Chain A
Amino acid sequence: MLRFLGFRLLRAIVTIVLVVTFAFVVLRLSGDPALLIMSVDAPPEAIAAFRAAWGLDDPLWVQYIRYFNAIFHGDLGRSMRDGRDAIVLVTERIPATLALTLPALAIKIGIGVPAGVYAALHRNSLADRMVMVMAVAGFTIPSFVLGLILVLVFAVQLGWLPSGGQESWRHAILPVITLGVGGAAVLARFTRSAMLEVLGQPFIRSASAKGVPWAAVVRNHALPNAAIPTVTIIGFMVGSLIAGAVVVESVFSWPGVGRLLVVAVANRDLAVVQCILLLVAMTMVIANLIVDLLYGALDPRLRATRTAGAH
């Protein structure tokens, strides 16, 4: 188990380094930020001063090492727009995003998992077909279309709910529903197929053949086994809590991390984009690590085989 943990930890660190490198290379090689921030007609001295101030004069590898060094000291750079620390700019948006993504996650798990389990237990019934059609529909309707249709119906036509902004909890209802429905559909589909696969296994048949009540078979044998693949997807959803609402935040003018990212990308605010990229990757990697640990708890077989790096 310790070796398994160490191996996963090493991989997580490699992933983080790759993400940082990717962010650095893409953002630095893509153009001259000085010209974009300063406009083309700025006097050459001003541009030179800007470049010197931000360290843009040095060779790329010097900037790269400096960047890594800074990150290890917790310094993620400053926004080129207003000079504030990027990490502060980003973290002060996190509560707003979590106010959307956490309730949405609850909806996804609260509706998606039971719906998937129910559909699998009543395979080919009317309810199963309904769940599947809803699940495919929920997956295929893009969040911005669903969001705008909800706005059209509940804000414009009926006038029940506000269409955008962040003044009260009522403003959060439509974005949370928009986020939750799609995820619930994905989760329902996934849970159903995981459940079906487990229900087809011989140990389910032998359990019910030896007279175990069906409810107990489901609870003690089917559900724990179907939980393994389902946990993977939930882990991914937990990992995207911080940046999973980019489009929805834009639709509903919600001032979260996603909005900040879109604006920062449009402004080429390098430090802020890097900071968000890094933060998202960190949450994702940590969520994946937790999922791996849960695997170990859910499935003792994996503790032995996973150390070999089998995928």
Chain B
Amino acid sequence: MVLPAATTRPRRPLAIPALVLFGIAWLVLMLLVAFSADLISPFPYTALDLRNRLAAPIGFGGPWLHPLGTDELGRDVLSRLIVSIRLSLLIAFGATLIGAFVGTSLGFLAAHFRGWVEHLVLALVDFSASLPFLILALSVLAFFGNSLTLFIVLLGFHAWERYARIARGLAISAGAQGYAAAVRQLGASPWRIYGRHVLPNIASTLIVSMTLAFPEIILLESGLSFLGLGVQPPATSLGNMVGYGREYLTRAPWILLAPAFIIVLTTFSVSLIGDWLRDRLDPTLR
């Protein structure tokens, strides 16, 4: 019989597991690609090469000109992939930050004012939790039409209720601790109490939530774009490419496999980093 480690787990040394290292490396690579997209993409992502339509990637009989092959209009898959990575990452980062900001702010408001403000926030949290976000997003998107800004803001509302719950709970318990009461006694404004004192103390938990929400947003974005209701052509995102490549599944699977591979590896990497960060940073797990 082996007993699992009890609560007095020794603190682990700062060795980063190999898989997490891989995740970090992959994420850095993706960020580099996103930032230098214009420099490194071999062709403009909308450029047609009608002589090389549906060309296979190198190694499958394709020409050297298009390393990952082309689609049915002869557009270079590699170039489209690079531009898609940039847009998908931009959306995911933007939406994650919006969600964290909105959720944390509402959580603080609930914790600060209590009373009916808190009830309202909690009712909104219940509302959010009562609908699968995809359903909610679908209706808003199709009925408000679609623009990139709206799309990012909409995805930003994914998981806001999680931040709100965390921020409210932690801020309430912080209010009961000495340090928040002390600065309040010293005459600090609520802005200062929450911004300078409470926020830094709960930041690690919030960052963990962000790393867990980030891959979900990538999956949502690509799912909606796959359904044709997310990023609209001529702009291209990873999910968009998969949805588009689906029609050529039998004749040219590389159109679909390349972006699918990137989606999976990126969400996988961020999830690994998030899990690892949670184990290290989340005080409730110690």
Question: A-side interface residues toward B, CB under 8 Å?
Answer: 11, 14-15, 18-19, 22-23, 26-27, 30-31, 120, 123, 136-137, 139-145, 148-149, 151-152, 156, 196, 199-202, 205, 208, 214, 240, 243-244, 246-247, 250-251, 261-262, 265-266, 268, 273, 276-277, 280-281, 284-285, 288, 309, 311
A246 to B134, CA, bound (A): 8
With both beta carbons as reference points, the residue of chain B lying nearest to A265 in the complex is identified as: B142
Given contacts A156-B250, A311-B169, contact A200 B127 (CB under 8 A): no
Contact A140 B267 (CB under 8 A): yes
Find chain A residues with CB under 8 A from B272 CB.
136
**Interchain CB contact (< 8 A) of A140 among B3, B5, B268:** B268
The proximity string for B residues 133-149 relative to A, scoring 1 for CB distances below 8 Å and 0 otherwise, is: 01110111111110000
Given contacts A156-B250, A280-B131, contact A311 B122 (CB under 8 A): yes
Contact A148 B246 (CB under 8 A): yes
B149 CB to closest chain A CB, in angstroms? 16
Contact B139 A145 (CB under 8 A): no
A2 CB to closest chain B CB, in angstroms? 21
Contact A145 B143 (CB under 8 A): no
A14 to B144, CA, bound (A): 25
With both beta carbons as reference points, the residue of chain A lying nearest to B132 in the complex is identified as: A240
Find chain B residues with CB under 8 A from A145 CB.
242, 260, 263-264
With both beta carbons as reference points, the residue of chain A lying nearest to B142 in the complex is identified as: A265
Find chain B residues with CB under 8 A from A140 CB.
215, 219, 264, 267-268, 271
The proximity string for B residues 231-243 relative to A, scoring 1 for CB distances below 8 Å and 0 otherwise, is: 0000000010011
Find chain B residues with CB under 8 A from A311 CB.
122, 165, 168-169
B249 at the A interface (CB under 8 A) = yes
**Interchain CB contact (< 8 A) of A199 among B4, B131, B168, B249:** B4
A30 to B143, CA, bound (A): 6
**Interchain CB contact (< 8 A) of B268 among A137, A246, A276:** A137
A24 CB to closest chain B CB, in angstroms? 11
Question: B-side interface residues toward A, CB under 8 Å?
Answer: 1, 3-7, 122-124, 126-127, 129-132, 134-136, 138-145, 165, 168-169, 215, 219, 222-223, 226-229, 239, 242-243, 246, 249-250, 253, 256, 260, 263-264, 267-268, 271-272, 275
- Identify whether the interface residues of B are mostly helix, strand, loop, or mixed: helix
A213 to B227, CA, bound (A): 53
Contact A148 B242 (CB under 8 A): yes
Contact B143 A280 (CB under 8 A): no
Contact B130 A31 (CB under 8 A): no
Contact A208 B138 (CB under 8 A): no
Contact B139 A11 (CB under 8 A): no
Find chain B residues with CB under 8 A from A202 CB.
6-7
A145 to B223, CA, bound (A): 9
A205 to B136, CA, bound (A): 46
The 6 closest A-B pairs by CB, nearest first: A265-B142, A30-B143, A140-B267, A18-B127, A140-B268, A145-B260
B216 CB to closest chain A CB, in angstroms? 9
**Interchain CB contact (< 8 A) of B140 among A26, A136, A243, A251:** A26
Find chain A residues with CB under 8 A from B264 CB.
137, 140-142, 145
Contact B4 A196 (CB under 8 A): yes
B273 CB to closest chain A CB, in angstroms? 11
Find chain A residues with CB under 8 A from B126 CB.
11, 14-15, 18
Contact B4 A268 (CB under 8 A): no
Given contacts A141-B264, A277-B131, contact A27 B143 (CB under 8 A): yes
Contact B127 A22 (CB under 8 A): yes
Find chain B residues with CB under 8 A from A244 CB.
132
Contact A15 B127 (CB under 8 A): yes
A239 to B219, CA, bound (A): 21
B11 CB to closest chain A CB, in angstroms? 15
A285 to B127, CA, bound (A): 9
Contact A139 B139 (CB under 8 A): no
A104 CB to closest chain B CB, in angstroms? 15
A240 to B133, CA, bound (A): 11
B153 CB to closest chain A CB, in angstroms? 14
Contact B223 A142 (CB under 8 A): yes
Find chain A residues with CB under 8 A from B243 CB.
144
Find chain A residues with CB under 8 A from B227 CB.
246-247, 250, 262
